[in-house]
Amino acid sequence: MSLAAFPELKTERLILRELAHADAPAVAAMHRDHEAMRHWGGTLLDTEVAAHDFIARCRTGWQWSPPVMRWAVARPGDDTLLGTCGLFNWDPRWHRCTLGYELARGAWQQGYMREALAAVLAWAFRTQAIHRIEALIHPDNAASLRLAQYLGFRIEGRLREAAFWDNRFHDMALLGLLASELRVFPN
């Protein structure tokens, strides 16, 4: 995969753009909501220093081979950061990658992440020779599981103690979406 520039995506209500260092306060604020981020799966980015470090990696990651793509999910009018979403763990030989996302509590239950992920998934399948996209979701994260299934992901199994954060192991649900299932997304 080779990109000349970070791909900006637009939907009816959103702009998906490259993360900027100006987003660091919003990223840190989102991650300081520890209850909302309990299924994040890693060290929280709850300080501006941690958020800036994450953003710096994201701003170069799309140029790596294989890439790490992370979009800022924002409203176009005021550029308010609602969350982020991205693709990582690319395996170009096997034509697959992994999806990840998080959304600030104030943007929950408004369809923003559904809209953002539909655009990202369509972009990946249509432009990046991706055949399969996976998602690992904590089994207790009912809202995330519902969202992934709405988008067409199928639960394929449970990976026992596959993740480690907060000083303990966690089971993860493995979900998969194939390029041939793209028809389920709105255009």
Which carries the bigger pLDDT value, residue 134 or residue 185? Answer: 134
- pTM across the whole model: 0.93
State the pLDDT at residue 187.
Answer: 44
Domain ranges of the chain: 9-184
Ordered DSSP codes for 51-101: HHHHHHHHHHHTTSSS--EEEEEE-TTT--EEEEEEEEEEETTTTEEEEEE
Closest CA to 16 of 75, 59, 67, 56: 75
CA distance 139 to 149: 13
Residue 176 has phi, psi (to 5 degrees) of -135, 150
CA distance 88 to 125: 14
Which carries the bigger pLDDT value, residue 107 or residue 183? Answer: 107
Residue 52 has phi, psi (to 5 degrees) of -60, -40
State the pLDDT at residue 73.
Answer: 98
Confidence of residue 1 (pLDDT cuts 50, 70, 90): low
The mean pLDDT of 5-22, rounded to a whole number, is 96
The mean pLDDT of 165-185, rounded to a whole number, is 87
| Residues near 62 by beta carbon (within 8 Å), at least 6 away in sequence | 3, 6, 18, 68, 69, 70
Ordered DSSP codes for 36-53: TTTTS-S----SHHHHHH
pLDDT tens by residue, 112-157? 999 999 999 999 999 998 999 999 999 999 999 999 999 999 999 9
Percentage, residues of the chain above pLDDT 90: 79
How much is the mean pLDDT over the chain? 92
Ordered DSSP codes for 116-165: HHHHHHHHHHHHS---EEEEEE-TT-HHHHHHHHHTT-EEEEEEEEEEEE
Percentage, residues of the chain above pLDDT 70: 96
| Residues near 7 by beta carbon (within 8 Å), at least 6 away in sequence | 69, 123, 127
Place of tokens 């993860």: 172
Q: Structure tokens of 142?
A: 């009912």
pLDDT tens by residue, 35-53? 888 888 878 788 999 999 9
Q: Structure tokens of 83?
A: 């969350």
CATH code of 9-184, in short, is: 3.40.630.30
